[in-house]
Structure 1
Amino acid sequence: MEDARLPCLKVTGSHYEVGRQVGEAFKDRIAEAYYKSESFSELHEFAKSSTGQAHLNRWKDAVERYPNVVAEMKGLADGSGIDYEEVFLYNCSVEIGIILLELDTITSCSDLLLQQPNMVLSAHNEDGPDSAVNTSYLIHAEITGNDGTVEEDFVAFAYAGILPGNAFGFNRHGLSFSTNAIYGKYLRENDAALPRVVLGRMVLGVKTVDELLNKLQGTGEQYKSPIWQSVSSFSLNIGDRVNAKVMNIELSTRGISKTTTENGFLHHFNMFVHTPEPQYVHMSSVHRTRALATLEGPTDSSSALNILSDTSDTEYPMYRNGASPDVLSTIATVVYDLLRGVAEIYTTQPLPGVTPTYEFNF
């Protein structure tokens, strides 16, 4: 079953070719998402300012250290018929939103991680602005090297014109990912720091959790330089099918903080949980945290979906509908069953009896 609101596109080829195919297939969605975006004028005013140009030039220099990412964005630009500078600008929109304190324009999601002897899962609501509800898509990418060998194979949600990896996805190595925005008050301003979207895209290609941690921490001889660093703070939720483990990582200007549980569950609602760093706290985060405290904790995928479907808080529900005072809507829900190696994606409220729109093995 496929949902026209969230189509799934299979693409194969080099980084450039994959980007070009995505841009070509979804050029209308990308144009709508860019030019009808709630943040269109703010992004362009920022890009014209001397402060904005300084930030963008520094971020661009950092990204150019990773030619595969640049090639993918250039392919996206060529395929969609949109200038590369515009594509790059939109892929920095998270950081720009924090600088301008336009926090309502940043995607804000809900995550649950469950670790028990007979159940290991990660569940995620992807929440975004109205402009993203009918313009987002799924990508199944097989990225090949010059000799035709498949170097990356992943499925990921993507906002139109934005690199995949900024929402949720999984790869052929049995790793699942979901990201959760955090509104840290400080940005990492060194020359190696990458826009969050770019770092998220690179995460999709890692083979093991140890590889990811080595690259984020700079440990391990082969990973000492450069270290993967994010300009802005965010939460990264990892599922490891091979080792049947889940982990939450918070990235901030302090570095990374990771946490696991041996027999329980973790949650993330767009706030630092285990990192002592100043942050902006959105009212939706406060309300979702309160709602969770009134609900039974998850014990399996059904109970996790019950939590993510909850609308008992009518102002800021867990499953969001964009109704005032909230401004975002839930676009999709994903549950990763790490023991079975199954990802279920829902494009409607995942109430009891609702079947997933997509189901993948990973």
Structure 2
Amino acid sequence: MGTDSFPLIDLSGSAHERGRQYGAAVPERVARSIALYRSQMQRRGLNRDEQYRLARAFQQTISAYSEAYFEEMRGIAEGATCTLEDIIMINCRTEMMFGYERLGDAAPANASDENDGCTGIVVLPEAARDGRLLHAHNWDWREECVDTGVVLRIRNDQGPDVLTFAEAGALARHGFNSAGVAITGNFLMCERDYREPGEAPLALLRRKLLDSHNLAAAMSQVFNKTRLCSNNLMLSHAEGEAVDLECAPDEVFWITPEDGLLVHANHWVSPIAQGKLRDLGLRGNPDSIYRQRRVVAALRAKLGRIGIDDLQQALFDEFGKPDSVLRSPKPVSFDSISATVVTTIMDPAQKKMWLARQPYLSRSFVEYTL
């Protein structure tokens, strides 16, 4: 594949064997992921010994959540010739970077520095030009991730096959499966975050949703597990259904599409959530308010005839640049650079995903299929 693409890795076999194949296929990308989060945590005052101590503290949580995922992570470490602690750090990076004051004795983290944007869209068949559900997303995070991203095509004997974009070394980020379930995730924050240990680390939860046989099974995973921190999950199904789950650590608030359209940025939208929680994420991401409004307005004007080109136009909106739907690189806390790493458009019924790497520079999409 060319410079605008992410490596596609085919995985099959046991959990450990899939992990070994994964790590061995892209050891240099896994090493970049490790270097990124080692650096991010060092800038927060955590040396390598403290990082490994925190990673080991997650081992029991991961094993209790899914022994198969723990074995897959062991395999990744073996294949990439790194430590298991390094792979845990990649998969639990949000919890470790922003919640470490609850996991150890280090100085408190300033969670207001998360600066993880993201704008997600689901278009139901009745609103789409071709009569098929479309699910799209901008992932805004650290600029370095343009060189750590991978696409995993997982052949699974115990569940549906999966096509997912992920940071190298992580089990999943967003994607869809052969049963028609698709997911994306967005950053959220409230005052309940990082107070109690959670049962489901976010990267593993996303993989669990992609391993689900149907939409109800995926939703059940969210409603029946707690989290260390908030996040937003957009779930859809190829046959024409979708739901947005705004997840506080201990409670879930749901939103359904209106007129065949579901859009979510980085603030709490559910009126019940707004009444019960304090939206702390808007301190760092106030642009979320107009990002959401602009995407909704652009797509509502085309209800019934929304196509992939319309999703591209909405997700490439640069009003307020760099604090726009399409985020150009900008400095954020801890000497980091935030940007839209990848724009994703999925047609789960056709089992196709299109990814535009570094879309602020090149708006060229590469197709991946399950």
Partner of 2:69: 69
- Aligned mates of 1:118, 1:35 — CA distance in 2: 43
Partner of 1:248: 244
User: Is residue 2:124 matched to residue 1:115?
Assistant: yes
Partner of 1:127: 140
- Aligned mates of 1:340, 1:262 — CA distance in 2: 24
- Aligned mates of 1:76, 1:57 — CA distance in 2: 16
Partner of 1:297: 298
Residues 120-153 of structure 1: CA distance to partner in whole angstroms, max 9, x if unpaired? 3221012221221112111111133xxxxx6341
Using the TM superposition, give the Cα deviation of residue 25 of structure 1 relative to its aligned residue in structure 2, in angstroms. Answer: 1.3
Size of the aligned set, in residue pairs, is 341
Residues 220-262 of structure 1: CA distance to partner in whole angstroms, max 9, x if unpaired? xxxxxxx3332221111111013x1121111113321221124
Partner of 1:335: 345
SS in 2 for 1:263: coil
* 1:354–1:323 CA distance, 2 compared to 1 (3 A): closer
SS in 2 for 1:13: coil
**Structure 2: segments with no counterpart, 5+ residues:** 100-108
- Aligned mates of 2:92, 2:231 — CA distance in 1: 14
Using the TM superposition, give the Cα deviation of residue 17 of structure 1 relative to its aligned residue in structure 2, in angstroms. Answer: 1.0
SS in 2 for 1:248: strand
Partner of 2:59: 60
Using the TM superposition, give the Cα deviation of residue 341 of structure 1 relative to its aligned residue in structure 2, in angstroms. Answer: 5.3
Partner of 1:323: 330
SS in 1 for 2:155: strand
Partner of 1:175: 181
Aligned with residue 313 of structure 1, among 314, 320, 336: 320
* 1:139–1:177 CA distance, 2 compared to 1 (3 A): same
User: Is residue 2:196 matched to residue 1:195?
Assistant: no
* 1:291–1:261 CA distance, 2 compared to 1 (3 A): closer
Partner letter of residue 13 of structure 1? G
Contact 1:5 1:136 in 2 (8 A): no
Partner of 2:286: 286
Partner of 1:45: 46
| Between 3-12 and 248-257, the greater mean CA deviation after superposition | 3-12
Partner of 2:221: 215
Contact 2:123 2:262 in 1 (8 A): yes
Residues 316-353 of structure 1: CA distance to partner in whole angstroms, max 9, x if unpaired? 121112134693121221223356554332225399x9
Contact 1:184 1:280 in 2 (8 A): yes
- Aligned mates of 2:345, 2:4 — CA distance in 1: 20
- Aligned mates of 2:36, 2:50 — CA distance in 1: 21
TM-score when scaled to structure 2? 0.81
Contact 1:47 1:56 in 2 (8 A): no
* 1:3–1:252 CA distance, 2 compared to 1 (3 A): same
Residues 291-338 of structure 1: CA distance to partner in whole angstroms, max 9, x if unpaired? 453563313132222111011212312111213469312122122335
Partner of 2:90: 90
Partner of 2:255: 259
User: Is residue 2:150 matched to residue 1:140?
Assistant: no
Residues 96-138 of structure 1: CA distance to partner in whole angstroms, max 9, x if unpaired? 2332225545643111223362423221012221221112111
* 1:85–1:171 CA distance, 2 compared to 1 (3 A): same
* 1:323–1:12 CA distance, 2 compared to 1 (3 A): same
Partner of 2:234: 237
Partner letter of residue 80 of structure 2? S
Contact 1:270 1:285 in 2 (8 A): yes
- Aligned mates of 1:258, 1:59 — CA distance in 2: 28
State the identity %: 18
Partner of 1:80: 80
Provide the alpha-carbon RMSD of the alignment: 3.0
Partner letter of residue 136 of structure 2? A
- Aligned mates of 2:294, 2:116 — CA distance in 1: 25
Partner letter of residue 230 of structure 2? S
